Amino acid sequence: MSDVLQHIPDYHIHTRFSCDSETALAAACEAAIARGLREIGLVDHADFGPDDPPDYFRPVAYLAEIARCRARYDGQLTVRAGVEIGEPHVFIEEARAVLAAGAFDYVIGSAHYADPLQCAWKSPFFEQPLRQAYAAYFRQVVRLAETGDFDVLGHIDLVKRDAFKLGKPYDGPEPYADAIRAALRAVVARGKGIEINTSPLYKGLDEPCPSLEILRWYRELGGEILTFGSDAHALDKIGARLDVALEMARAAGFTRLARFERRQVSWLEM
């Protein structure tokens, strides 16, 4: 890994505290160190939708395990305590209860359900007219951006990744530009950020979430707060394709990345 990339944090890593990962926290830290990373952010899923397993995320135990990893890898790796909350604008009380459990460094707010709580990662969602489906997804993103409690808006055009997985075409972002720009304006106005999520690249797509076009819209609207994340659910994906994220960010005019501690931003030149 290049010297520049060693300083780039991977701020979207999942572990066994998410219902869709079996990765041990210590193993994730060791994998990050082996790849030359110096800082990571763990963001296990706190989801409350109708298709999510109830009461899976255990924030107190999760934060305690992160504290143990911080002590164990002190001097080798900075470990940030994040959480990825699904639809925090819908599940307001549930989100508050999670965040009251301890000190989190940052919150990724994500839309996994389209409006109104249509499960947007399973095949039935894509059986409706696709423009109708995608418009419903981006309506949810706008509402999240406008009112959700988060620091970084996760994978803003995630719906394209699941469309690809299920063999469905995605015609964005232009047909949904008004909604996407509305979400980005809300993010900027509220002093929040977005991420470049590289998971689509290792799942077979030719661009991350978001596309370069959307990233440029964000920058043109005054967006400054940007993080990178692999969305790793397995050890071999930690740090994956951060080089592409770095190239994209520079192409869109970004010169620094955001870092978080206790939900406060600092900056990392890139």
Residue 74, burial from CB neighbour count under 10 angstroms (0-12, 13-18, 19+): exposed
45 neighbors 94 (Cβ within 8 angstroms): no
1 pLDDT more than 70 = no
CA distance 113 to 159: 9
pLDDT bucket at 5, cuts 50 / 70 / 90: confident
CA distance 103 to 235: 25
**End-to-end C-alpha distance for the chain, whole angstroms:** 15
Both tokens of 260, joined, read 């978080």
pLDDT bucket at 6, cuts 50 / 70 / 90: confident
Q: Which tens digits make up the pLDDT trace of 210-263?
A: 999 999 999 999 999 999 999 999 999 999 999 999 999 999 999 999 999 999
Stretch (H or E) spanning 92: helix 92-99
Q: Which tens digits make up the pLDDT trace of 177-203?
A: 999 999 999 999 999 999 999 999 999
Q: Residue range 161-189: average pLDDT?
A: 98
Q: What is the 3-state secondary structure (H, E, C) of 100-150?
A: CCCCCCEEEEECCEECCCEECCCHHHHHCCHHHHHHHHHHHHHHHHHHCCC
CA distance 263 to 108: 11
| Structural domain count, the chain | 1
Q: Which three-class secondary structure state does DSSP give residue 251?
A: helix
Both tokens of 119, joined, read 């499960």
* CA 38 vs CA 79, 127, 135, 234: distances in Å: 9, 43, 39, 18
pTM confidence score: 0.97
CA distance 5 to 27: 21
- How large a percentage of the chain has pLDDT more than 90? 97
Q: What is the CATH number of the domain that holds 245?
A: 3.20.20.140
- When the pLDDT of each residue in the chain is averaged and rounded to a whole number, the result is 97
Pairing of strands 113-114, 118-119: antiparallel
Domain of 42 in residue numbering reads as: 3-269
- How large a percentage of the chain has pLDDT more than 70? 99
